[in-house]
A and B are shown apart, each in its own frame.
Chain A
């Protein structure tokens, strides 16, 4: 046990204008931007952009959205995809019914509509904790597909109930090509990552984590628990709404209510758990896992040339088994998610010069 005397601060050196850590952080951000906006679009093929990089980035963003709610504020949602679908249907109708609305405004408004919906389905959080919250968000997961298929107004009375991406353009730039769609996704993602950092490092983020760790103590300290929880649902759903627009318009091109089904919600949950709770960049590792695993399994099955598996249904089911098994394996072996790999890597790098 330490007593007052020996815990007195040692008078450290005066802080320089920019500490080493801050410089390092700045360098990492700059390098990230160069890779994201310079190297990737120059190097990656259209196939890589369209089939691997765009979905990974968008799903990573979905993971961040849920992580804000679950990892930071300690709340549960089983309906992430429903809030994504609210975003994409809002965007579709805004573009259709409010001609001339610029793309950033469409995204912002779609996010805000999703946020309002999120707050509504988060209301039960004012009375219950933990798993019970699954009920209302799972309800959202079934309600919105029903709403969007039952009322064709939402898909402009299209026969197939699907909505197609509008022409994506901003300030006269055409964003239809794979590189254009990638730059669109990367820009929105970079802005939202920045916003996520601002949120988790603000008083709001701190109070979320306080509520997550010890709700009773948080309320005893005067933290407005109810308000903070609803803000968590709002902000998480705002992110999810925008993510839904990216998924529908920049990745798939067309979407319907069932694009955003329960499986998608579970994928987002997996991303958070595999990537690591209360992390930002870990979500992209989780997303890469979710996107790449089926592709790798496809190649594996082809390479193994298992003749009697020519039935596509059997292959799909085999993939399901392997995917489920890998999920369980990661949950057992990496309690902190794959972001523990990054941390360990960083620690190893830091340790090297000293030893």
Chain B
């Protein structure tokens, strides 16, 4: 039983990371209707820039601020060079453009900063402690709290501030939002910036656990099943979807893996997502639009 719970908890932690990456997707999807494949590349870029700065002796918070600033610049550049020229194009074209974007970001990051794996210490000890018979790492607990705090802040910002309300207006009806004076380019820049900073947090937590390396970029591939399960337009949905994917992947690996002699974590999430689609096509937290003809 303890083993089951420990597996579950490890899975939930991985799921939290998926969820954190998926939040970046949700923000961008809501504001610009783009399925942003480059979100993983942004996680990798942010983590590698941050770790490089820290290794050169820059103070933690200075490095954090500098990397955040870089992510804002990246967001502004993406809006100007990719999104604006591709306005009103079909979703598949936009998706392909973000694929190209992920090539540019991944390639540039490794071109300038190298391809080595960097260890990242963010000052939280990753040692398992005994909690009434369960061994749980302090790192997992603190990381979870950070994610919860981040989600709470984002939820508050998007429900209470003027910017958040504008964003929801854009998500509901882009044309109507524009007609009442909401400026799309501004919204896009802000949302991509926020997504960049969320990517930084995800990169730090994930990188501290498994090292900062190119494979961070690939976490993006798990976002599609996470979003299908949680719903494409809901931030809590992204987290819950992430937790479901992470936990069931870990459990499937332990209990299903031996039956088929190998790890099933590369593909299990997709099967789960398709199964979810059959039961709840709109995801756990999504709305289903009524078709008009």
Contact = CB atoms under 8 A, between A and B. Distances in A.
Interface of A: 70, 76, 124, 127-128, 130-132, 134-136, 138-139, 142-143, 145-146, 150, 216-217, 220, 262, 266, 269-270, 273, 313-314, 317-321, 323-328, 331-332, 335
Nearest to A79: B270
Given A135-B225, A136-B270, A216 B86 contact: no
Contact of B85 (A134, A145, A332): A332
Interface string B78-119: 000110011001011101110111111011101100010000
B261 interface: yes
Given A138-B221, A142-B267, A127 B82 contact: no
Contacts of A146: 262, 264, 266-267
Contacts of B99: 266, 269-270, 324, 327
B277 A324 contact: no
A327 B261 CA distance: 40
B274 A324 contact: no
Given A135-B273, A328-B101, A150 B262 contact: yes
B107 A317 contact: yes
B278 A127 contact: yes
A318 B273 contact: no
A316 to B, nearest CB: 8
B267 A321 contact: no
B228 interface: yes
A124 B274 CA distance: 7
B270 A135 contact: yes
A95 to B, nearest CB: 26
Nearest to B225: A135
Interface residues on B, range: 35 or more
A256 B51 CA distance: 36
Given A139-B273, A269-B96, A321-B107, 15 more contacts: A127-B278, A131-B35, A134-B224, A135-B277, A143-B266, A146-B267, A273-B96, A317-B115, A318-B107, A320-B103, A324-B101, A324-B104, A327-B96, A328-B101, A332-B86
A128 B85 contact: no
B260 interface: yes
A143 B270 CA distance: 9
B86 A135 contact: no
Contacts of B270: 135-136, 138-139, 142-143
A246 B215 CA distance: 31
Given A270-B96, A321-B111, A128 B277 contact: yes
B1 interface: no
Given A135-B224, A135-B225, A138-B221, A327 B100 contact: yes
Contact of B102 (A135, A150, A220, A324): A324
9 contacts: A139-B267, A143-B270, A146-B264, A146-B266, A146-B267, A314-B111, A323-B100, A323-B107, A331-B86
Contact of B228 (A135, A142, A331): A135
